Amino acid sequence: MQHNFRKFFLLFCSIMLLGTVTVLVARPHTSFADEERQRMPESPATDNWQTFEDREYGFILEYPADWEVITFVEQPRPYPEPEKIVRKYAFSGPEGYVTLSVFLPQGLDLPTWLKNQNRISPDLFPAMEANARLAGYPAAAFVTGNNLILFMSSGDYIYRFWYPITDSSSALQANWHILDTFHTIAGHSRSLDADTQIPQSVVDEAQDELITVANEITNSTCGLSGPSPTCCGLTKPAGCTYQCSSRNGVERGNCTWYVCHKYGGGIPFSGNASLWWEQVPHNPGWGRGTTPRWHRNIAWWGTSYSQYGHVGFIGSYWGGTPTIQEMNYCAAGTGECVQTRQAIPHGYIYELTGGPAPATSVIEAMYYNYSVPYLNYTHYKN
């Protein structure tokens, strides 16, 4: 009797051990900790979404129906600058905006590609392994400053989503919805087996940054003005994602808004002014340097100038110290928002035209051609 019980007990233990091994073998391997993964935060309970589809670059997503879509970059094939962004959209509304940039992977997997880009722009392209999934593909998600950024590689393309975090919870939820509804397209059908998961630590950090931004606005009584189509009496041009600031209900300017206004829209850079410099090498048709070009330039200052950096507009440059027109975010006092001064910034951002930088004579400057065909942005609103 005791012998039979021992045989039964050993058989039972063997079955349990075999089952455990089977489960461990069958469990799919991931490159990031499972306890760090979670399903996407739930989207707002609304059906007010618009579908956007790009069959050329193989994706489909949903965005708020009252937002507009802006095309900032549309390189023709064959690509003049294949190492840079080949297509870039912005989904922009009164609460905020999300940009979607498409890169070519150059035959590299996501971690290797990020490592290469990190040598050029370390703050915006971290050398990291995949810690998330988007539409079933490996992704890298992180928060830097007040920006929520996610890279995903489908093998054919690398997609970058960039959401500058504001104090708007509805804008943050719209960002989650855009990510959750993003799918790649196979032929003429939508991939329905997509799996999107973001690390809980990234979700929490984005929420914490929203609270920080909201507290800063409350303490300073100044923040972004939201849907206002004007800033200090000037009209917001089409193709601008930046917002004006307001103090106690009075518009008080924003440096990024003003530069976009002076360019007539179409500035492709995201986030605060301090981040514009690192974005230049990745945007086709744009350059940077310590010497201004003839004609218009963006004067740029980094965080040593102010917490969020600063940009100004140089309408023309003929030598010497440039004359800069500018706005300041939440400008103090009740005077004019726009000011003009002569100053030497930390650097200059300008449109590339194939000519010398800077031009070598006034005659050359007079005949300088600064059109870049594939940077003619388009926008539409539903």
Could you read off the pLDDT of 210-253 as tens digits, one per residue? 998 888 888 777 777 665 688 998 998 888 999 888 877 788 88
- Asked if 298 contacts 276 with a C-beta cutoff of 8 angstroms, the reply is yes
Residues 6+ apart with CB under 8 A from 298: 259, 276, 311, 312, 313, 314, 348, 349, 350
Residue 20 predicted with pLDDT over 90: no
Q: Confirm whether pTM is higher than 0.85.
A: no
Q: Which of 185, 156, 229 is nearest to 51 (CA)?
A: 185
The pLDDT, as a whole number, for residue 307 is 87
Most confident stretch, 18-22, 184-188, 219-223, 324-328: 324-328
Per-residue pLDDT tens over the stretch 71-115: 999 999 999 999 999 999 999 998 899 999 999 999 999 999 999
The pLDDT, as a whole number, for residue 40 is 57
Distance between CA atoms of residues 99 and 26, nearest Å: 38
Query: What's the burial of 322, exposed, middle or buried (CB within 10 Å: 0-12/13-18/19+)?
Result: buried
Residues 6+ apart with CB under 8 A from 108: 116
- Phi/psi region, residue 186 (left: phi>0; alpha: psi -120 to 50; beta: rest), is beta
The pLDDT, as a whole number, for residue 378 is 47
**At 323, is the secondary structure helix, strand, or coil?**
strand
Cα separation of the two ends of the chain: 81
pLDDT band at 371 (very low <50, low <70, confident <90, very high): very low
Cβ neighbours around 375 below 10 Å, total: 19
Structure tokens given for 33: 């900790």
The pLDDT, as a whole number, for residue 145 is 86
Residues of the chain with CATH 3.40.1000.10: 49-214
Q: Which of 155, 150, 153 is nearest to 180 (CA)?
A: 150
Phi, psi for residue 162 in degrees, rounded to 5: -135, 120
Q: Which of 208, 150, 147 is nearest to 179 (CA)?
A: 150
The pLDDT, as a whole number, for residue 217 is 80
Distance between CA atoms of residues 365 and 363, nearest Å: 5
- Indicate the average pLDDT of the chain: 82
User: In this structure, is the dihedral angle defined by the CA atoms of residues 367, 370, 374 and 376, taken in order, positive or negative?
Assistant: negative
Cβ neighbours around 219 below 10 Å, total: 8
Distance between CA atoms of residues 137 and 154, nearest Å: 6
Distance between CA atoms of residues 123 and 279, nearest Å: 10
Distance between CA atoms of residues 252 and 263, nearest Å: 20
CATH 3.40.50.300 is the classification of domain 221-381: no
In residues, how long is the chain? 382
Task: Tell me the percentage of the chain whose pLDDT exceeds 90.
Answer: 59
**At 180, is the secondary structure helix, strand, or coil?**
helix
Phi, psi for residue 277 in degrees, rounded to 5: -60, -45
Average pLDDT rounded to a whole number, residues 180-185:
93
Per-residue pLDDT tens over the stretch 339-353: 999 999 999 999 997
Residues of the chain with CATH 3.90.1720.10: 221-381
Angle between helices 169-181 and 200-220 (to 10 degrees): 150
Per-residue pLDDT tens over the stretch 281-299: 999 999 999 999 988 999 9
Residues 6+ apart with CB under 8 A from 112: none
Q: Which of 147, 192, 196, 159 is nearest to 176 (CA)?
A: 196
Per-residue pLDDT tens over the stretch 159-172: 999 999 988 999 99
49-214 CATH choice from 3.40.50.1970, 3.40.1000.10, 3.30.70.100, 3.30.300.180:
3.40.1000.10
Structure tokens given for 258: 């003003």
Task: Tell me the percentage of the chain whose pLDDT exceeds 70.
Answer: 75
Average pLDDT rounded to a whole number, residues 48-74:
96
The answer to whether the bond into 358 is cis (omega within 30° of 0) is yes
